[in-house]
Structure 1
Amino acid sequence: MSANETEMDNLHEKAKASEEEHIAKLDEQMHHATSPAAEAWAYGAAGWMALLAVPHLLFPRLLVLMATPETGAAPEHHPLRLTQLESFFSLHFGVLLITVALSVIISIPNASPGEPRPEALQHPLLTPLSLGLGVMSFASYHTSLKGLGALPMIAAVGSGAISLWGFWVMFFASEGRRSKKTGADKRTSAFLFGNKAAASEQKKEYRRQTSQKKYE
């Protein structure tokens, strides 16, 4: 074994030991940062918001019945049904409550960080809000077909645009799609046109250079 190979092995062992020490420190920090009381509060708050969302999504008339005065029959100005506009906002408020409840659960710190992530971390609310806005966009478009003016279509376009933007960030704007060794984008291909910047071509070039250095 040459001196260069021995030196490379020593550097690799030092880097591995340093990485293990860093993971252990992160594990200890996350363990101390996680509060059982805060975690219990998060589950309680999420459960309460989910409970509030049920009548808004499934039983909107129940809200009217609960808001009826206790004097008996409701007066004429207090009908026992929601208008189209009230139903529209009730549905969207229910979806928002479910989205916030999921966000609270997802944002609970993990007790173990697991493997380190070299890529940039995404926003913790990116996934639940993108999903929630997608549901709101679909519901708004469906409501616009029933004739409620321009409001549902505006809500459908706005919520849909933000939702699609969020999904684009999740699937296409992540640094995790780049090779750790070559830095090439894994979504590129050399098929048909022989793209030299493709991940497969960069990997071949990396292996060729590595093998040349080994025999030098």
Structure 2
Amino acid sequence: MDVFYAYTYSTAAWFGIQAVPLIISPKLIITALSTEARKPTVLEEYLCRSLAFALLTLAILTVLLTGTIPLSSSLAESEITADPSDPKAPYAVPTLTVTAAFHALTAFYAYMQYTRHAQIGFALSEIGSGFLASMGCWCLVFGTEKGRISKRTGADKRTSGWPFKNEEAERRKGKRV
């Protein structure tokens, strides 16, 4: 599996993991986060469930806009237009950028809350979002541009011989090392 698709599925799963408790039991979440014992208001329950639906919507949009699930109506149409080495959707890189930035901001916020309150939930959120932010940044740096691959040798032309020389290539050319 490509790292790009692993990032896409991981992001959707992370959003889903965060959304499910908010949908199933918003009272439990509100009570656990509250400092005093009280019954949650109707507005708090509404906001919890609205946040959960927004997270599920983001998960679905991430999977659809990155091209992980092709949006064409027939299989033959998607085979003609899709290149297996590239992300298949035109919105893949912008979606990747926005979700990676979201994960980075969420990880930073969770870190700040963890240093203030020292609760394990913030630490878990920091670890999950931080991992996805680093994975998204890795995809942005290394996965969005095609390398300059030599047709003759199959090697990437952007590499250099510094600080180590490619002795095997020089030996093949007939040069002494």
Q: TM-score range by the shorter chain?
A: 0.3 to 0.5
TM-score normalized with structure 2 length: 0.42
TM-score normalized with structure 1 length: 0.37
